[in-house]
Amino acid sequence: MKLYIMAAVMLIVSTAAEARGLFTAEDRPEEWCLAQNIYYEARGSSRADQIAVADVVINRVQDERYPDSICEVVQQGPVHANGLPKRNRCQFSWYCDGKSDWPKDLDAWVIAQQIAHNMITYGDWRGLTEGSTHYHANYVNPNWARELTLTGTIGVHKFYRWD
């Protein structure tokens, strides 16, 4: 009986996911990585803040100081000899915090995927952060922020770019 119920739930989740336009990491890896970063960095914030977080990732891809793909930017950080990221040492802390990277809030995940898809496919909202390559939550004051130019605050994040 449990197996039957689990199969029915899986079918409903799968059907709902397909109906809502979700994609997989295998189908669209760059969109998946960008959506994960939006989800984990800004899911509880405004849509504008989520878009701004995504804009920073894409700005980094276009900046020669950073890796050349969205996934490489999102997953950037030191790794152990076995290839696993060193805990709490990544550019985006959620990636190497040791927790599962599977989204639990389906509604927030769908929004993150929609933003990622529209930004990558259509260039929607590009430039919102005026070239920012960095951001931080407004309740912290990292040392690196003094070396960059503040471009503004959106939602709960402050955004910066190189001069």
DSSP 30-62: HHHHHHHHHHHHHTTS-HHHHHHHHHHHHHHHH
pLDDT in tens, 89-125: 999 999 999 999 989 999 999 999 999 999 999 999 9
pLDDT at 22: 77
Partners of 160 in the β-ladder: 134, 150
Instruction: Give the residue ranges of the chain where pLDDT is below 50.
Output: 1-20
> Taking the model in full, what pTM does it have?
0.86
According to the model, what pLDDT value does residue 16 have? 46
Distance of CA 17 to the CA centre of its chain: 19
pLDDT in tens, 115-133: 999 999 999 999 999 999 9
Q: Give the model's pLDDT for residue 57.
A: 98
Q: What is the DSSP string of 119-137?
A: HHHH-TTTTTTTT--EEEE
- The fourth-level CATH superfamily of domain 26-130 is Cell wall hydrolase SleB, domain 1 (1.10.10.2520)
Give the span between the Cα atoms of 57 and 143, in whole angstroms.
20
- Name the residue ranges covered by the structural domains of the chain: 26-130
